[in-house]
Structure 1
Amino acid sequence: MYNKLGRYVLMAIFAFSALVSVYFYQYQLALISATLSAFILWSHIKQSSVLLASKHFKNSDYERAEQVLNEVNRPDMLSKGRRGFYEFMRANIALKREDYETAEYHFQIASRYPLGGKNDKAYVLIHLANLALRKRDAQKALVYTERAKELATSSRAIEIIKNIEKEAEKLAN
């Protein structure tokens, strides 16, 4: 759970250790050091700083969470699980700033990736339905709520879906 700079420093240390081990004919140590450096590189590409950002996000430190998320150069290279959380956090940060277009964009992407569970995915769809209502698109909101109904497991989520459906039906009439 290191930031970008910390991972780069660790990779450099292990790479240097591998070179020193080769210089002293310690090939097993060189292999271990090179493997650790490669593992950290893989972790940097596939996992990045999403876990560290989620820690800040859960503590409602959205500024710091966004700073850590900005360290991710290529979100398309993240693993499926990390990409979903990355997009979910980006969308929620955009919602807090009332940047609804960006929030909708990130929620759309988050809906394509696995999240924690069915209920989490239902909340993504609920957010999308709310954003559709904000745009006065009742039909889109109803489609999102139908999909969210299939996934919702908590009574709170089901209640929110019912409220959105009522608002969408008022808007459609």
Structure 2
Amino acid sequence: MYNNKGRYALMAVFIAAALVCLYYEHYQLAALAAFLFGFTIWSHFRHSSVLMASKHFKNNEFGKAQLLLDEVRSPERLAKSRRGYYEFMKGNMALKEEEWDKAEYHFQLASRFPVGGKTQKGYVLIHLANLALRKKDKERAEAYVKLAKELAETARSKDIIVKIEKELNRL
């Protein structure tokens, strides 16, 4: 759970340790340091700073979360378990900035990846239904609501779905 600068510092320490171990002919320790260097690189591409960003996101520190999410250069390289959270947070950030098309794009991607439990996936679909309702696309909104109903477990999500359905009936 490091940001990019922390990971780069850790990689430098592992390289330095490997070089020192090679100098003193401790080849097994040098191999271990090289392995840890490789693991850090793998972690950098597969997990990046998404976990730290989610911590800030849950604490309503959206500026810090946005900075950490911006460190992800290639979201397509993220592990499936991280990609869903990444897209979910980016979609919510876009909603806060009232960038509806961008939010829809990120929520569409988040719906294709694991985002947690049924409740989280339900909220992704609720956001998509709400965005479709905003565009007055009744068919898509109804489809999202139908899927969200199947996943809704909390009273709050069920209440939101009822409100969306009332708005759909007005269209």
TM over 0.5: yes
Question: Match of 1:54, as an amino acid?
Answer: S
**Equivalent residue, structure 2, for 1:78:** 78
Q: How far apart, in 2, do the equivalents of 1:169 and 1:137 lie?
A: 12
TM-fit CA distance, 1:161: 1.0
1:58 positional shift: 1.1
Write the distance in 2 (CA, Å) between the matches of 1:119 and 1:63.
Answer: 25
Alpha-carbon offset, residue 112 of structure 1: 0.4
Letter in 1 for 2:131: L
1:125, 1:145 within 8 Å by CA — same for their partners in 2?
yes
Q: Distance in 2 between matches of 1:17 and 1:169?
A: 66
Counterpart in the other structure of 1:103? 103
3-state secondary structure, aligned to 2:25 = coil
1:36-78 Cα offsets, whole Å, 9 max, x none, are 1111111111110001111111111111111110000110000
> How far 1:108 sits from its partner (Å)?
0.4
Using the size of structure 1 for normalisation, the TM-score is 0.96
**CA displacement at 1:169 relative to structure 2:** 2.2
Q: TM-score, normalised by structure 2?
A: 0.97
Deviations 1:123-145 (A, max 9, x none): 00000000001001111100000
Across the aligned residues of Structure 1 and Structure 2, the Cα RMSD in angstroms comes to 0.9
Look up the match of 1:157: 157
* Separation (CA, whole Å) in 1 of partners of 2:159 and 2:140: 19
| CA–CA distance in structure 1, aligned partners of residues 22 and 166 of structure 2 | 70
d(CA) in 1 for partners of 2:50, 2:20: 33
Distance in structure 1 (CA, Å) of the matches to 2:142 and 2:65? 32
Moved over 2 A (4+): none
SS of residue paired to 1:73 = coil
SS in 2 for 1:13: helix
- Structure 2 counterpart of 1:67, one-letter code: L
Equivalent residues of 1:15, 1:37 under 8 A apart:
yes
Q: Unaligned 5+ residue runs, structure 2?
A: none
Point out the more displaced range, 42-51 or 160-169.
Answer: 160-169
Taking the aligned partners of 2:67 and 2:160, their CA distance within structure 1 comes to 31
- Report if the CA contact (8 A) 1:130-1:164 is conserved: yes
One-letter amino acid of the counterpart of residue 78, structure 1 = L
* Aligned-residue identity in percent: 57
Q: Secondary structure at 2:60's aligned position in 1?
A: coil
Aligned position for 2:55: 55
- After superposing the two structures, state which structure 1 stretch, 149-158 or 78-87, moved more: 149-158
1:131 aligns with 2:131: yes
Deviation at 1:163, TM superposition (A): 1.6
* Residue pair 1:138, 1:169 contacting (<8 A) in 2 also: no
Matches of 1:157 and 1:129, distance apart in 2:
12
| Count of aligned pairs | 171
Residue type at the aligned position of 1:13: V
Q: How does 1:1-173 map to 2 (within 5 A)?
A: 1-171=1-171
